[in-house]
Amino acid sequence: MLDVVIVKLEELDDFDDLSRLKQAFGPDSLGIIIVKHQDPHIASLRNIVLLNASKLANLPPTKLSQLECPEAFWLVGWSRGRERLKNGEYDFNKGSFYANCAFHVNPQYECPPPEMCLGDYSQFKAYTTRNIWPSDNTIKLFEKDFKELCNYILNVAGKVARICDQYMTQIVEDFQPGFLERIVKESTTTKARMLHYYPIAGTSGIQDDWCGEHLDHSCLTGLLPASYVDGGGEIVSDTSPDNEGGLYIRNRKGELVKVDIPSDCIAFQTGSALEEITRGRFKAVPHYVKGVLVEGIARNTLAVFCQPNLHELVNDTQDFAQYAQMILEKHH
């Protein structure tokens, strides 16, 4: 079974080990790399933000409804029970808070700037709608902490993207040098998703009951290690209490691999937009989340989906707006 590649954050500034990149992202890989940092402030901030996921998910329905945005496919603000599973049923096992990360490009942006939302692009409300934030009276410093943590993840993602670009220029004909790093640093369409997986009572008998197997439609996804939380909103563990729950990846051979992201790390995996752009040379990572069977335990995490601006082509016929819309319509 393949091992997950782990690198230290400081290694990324002068990284030239393409054999390890092949191990992480090549044709026989898991399609994921884990970056280890040693920043106590980020560790503390992660705990705050992930506990806020529980606070948000347990607000009264009247409060949560004020954070919903149906015209944006519920991809801005709060969403629960709006996404269809493969069996056609709506997913109530998790709740999500979505935010556009255009603030990484300009702190004043809460969505792409007006010049990127003209004409037909104005119709893509999932990406052109301004963010909706809980007030400080609801959850103190929610927006500030969320943005700071996303910015940190994106700063690390930029370093990962730089080394991926080095690798892709060697394996993809006509690949544009610096493409992925530019996407991470300059795109105003990148999306963050905070997730709260509600406790599951007993067993559902479904392997991917907390989150069905899927591909991200990003280029690169940054993923925080999850926290497992009890009914009182306290972190119980950074690993699944029953050893079976958590994140699973299906490798290139179709084998399932359980991936535990250490608490002082951030994982990065590839999505389907990058697979399109690289003509299949970088494969998207099929993955799912299995629920824990310990009574009353929830799971919180945060994913940041680095993806192109709306107008950028991902294949010969579709720009990212069209590509993303096609995927969203299948699941909402």
CB atoms within 10 A of CB 267: 23
CA 296 to chain centre: 25
Q: What is the per-residue pLDDT for 236? A: 87
Question: Which residues lie closer than 8 Å to 185 by C-beta, 6 or more apart?
Answer: 104, 105, 154, 158
CA 97/CA 301 separation, integer angstroms: 11
| % of the chain surpassing 70 pLDDT | 95
Q: Is the C-alpha dihedral spanning 141, 99, 219, 86 positive or negative?
A: positive
pLDDT over 80 (residue 288):
yes
Range of the domain at 264: 5-331
From the list 179, 153, 154, the residue with the least C-alpha distance to 166 is 179
CA angle, 103 then 193 then 208, to 5°: 165
Look at the alpha carbons of 173, 178, 180, 183 in this order and tell me if their dihedral is positive or negative: negative
* CATH code at position 20: 2.60.120.330
Task: Tell me the pLDDT band of 327, cut-offs 50, 70 and 90.
Answer: confident
For residue 100, which of 143, 64, 164 has the smallest C-alpha distance?
A: 143
CB 8 within 8 A of CB 14: no
Over residues 289-307, the pLDDT tens digits come to 998 888 899 999 999 999 9
pLDDT score of 204 = 52
Q: Which of 233, 234, 214 is nearest to 303 (CA)?
A: 214
Tens of pLDDT, residue by residue over 153-176, are 999 999 999 999 999 888 887 888
Q: Work out the average pLDDT over 282-288.
A: 90
| Average pLDDT of the chain, as a whole number | 91
- Ramachandran bin of 230, using left for φ above 0, alpha for ψ from -120 to 50, beta for the remaining angles: beta
**How does DSSP assign 98-167, residue by residue?**
EEE-GGGT-TT-SSS-GGGS-GGGGG-HHHHSPP----TTTSTTHHHHHHHHHHHHHHHHHHHHHHHHHH
Question: pTM value?
Answer: 0.94
Of the candidates 222, 198, 225, the residue with the CA atom closest to the CA atom of residue 46: 225
Q: What is the DSSP letter of 226?
A: P
Q: State how far the Cα of 209 lies from the Cα of 107, in Å rounded to an integer.
A: 37
**115-153 per-position pLDDT tens digit:** 999 999 999 999 999 999 999 999 999 999 999 999 999
| β-strands 32-36, 5-8 pairing | parallel
pLDDT 10s digits, 224-278: 999 999 987 888 889 899 888 999 999 888 889 999 999 999 999 999 999 999 8
Tokens read off for 328: 């969203």
Kindly report the number of other CB atoms within 10 A of residue 161's CB atom.
25
Domain tally for the chain?
1
